Amino acid sequence: MKHRVRDIFILNVIFIVLLSVCYGAFDKDKPAATTSLRNSNPEILANWAALETAIAQDHEFSTGGTNSGKHEVLTMEEETSAGASSTNELHVQAIDGGSGQPEFAITSEDGDELQMTKDGDLYSSDNLVVVGTSTLGGAVTANGGITLGAGDDLIGSATSDITFNTDKFTVAGDTGNTLVAGTLDVTGEATVGSLADGTALTTSAAPSADAEVANKKYVDDSVKGDISGNAEFVVKAWGLITHPTTVTVSGNISSVSNPSTGVYIVSWDTNFATANYAVVVTAKDASARLGRVTDKIAGSVTISFTNVTPSQVDVTAFDIIAIGDQ
Position 100 confidence tier, pLDDT thresholds 50, 70, 90: confident
Neighbours of 256 (CB within 10 A): 22
- Structural domain tally of the chain? 3
**286 occurs within a structural domain:** yes
- 28/97 same-domain check: no
In a shared domain, residues 298 and 236: yes
First CA to last CA distance, the chain: 138
Residue 210 lies in a domain: no
pLDDT of residue 315: 97
To 10 degrees, what angle do helices 2-22 and 37-55 make? 50
Query: Are residues 32 and 104 both part of a single domain?
Result: no
Same domain, residue pair 21 and 94: no
**Is there a domain that residue 110 lies in?**
yes
Identify whether residues 263 and 313 lie together within a single domain. Answer: yes
On whether both 30 and 82 belong to a single domain, the answer is no
Residue-level pLDDT at 272:
94
pLDDT of residue 279: 97
Query: Is 162 part of any domain?
Result: no
**Cα-flanking dihedrals φ and ψ of residue 2, to 5°?**
-65, -40
The boundaries of the domain holding residue 111 are 78-122
Question: What are the E-state strand segments in 194-262?
Answer: 235-242, 246-251, 253-260
Same domain, 318 and 240: yes
Q: Does residue 130 form part of some domain?
A: no
Same domain, 7 and 47: yes
Q: How many CB atoms sit inside 10 A of residue 83's CB?
A: 15
pTM over 0.75: no
Tens digit of each residue's pLDDT (9 = 90 or more) over 258-277: 999 999 999 999 999 999 99
Q: Is residue 70 part of a domain?
A: no
**Do 314 and 255 sit in the same domain of this protein?**
yes
Domain termination site, one of 63, 88, 122: 122
What number of residues does the chain have?
A: 326
Residue 26 lies in a domain: yes
State how far the Cα of 188 lies from the Cα of 179, in Å rounded to an integer. Answer: 20
Question: What pLDDT, on the 0 to 100 scale, is given for residue 2?
Answer: 46
Instruction: Report yes or no on 186 lying in a domain.
Output: no
Can you give the pLDDT at residue 22? 46
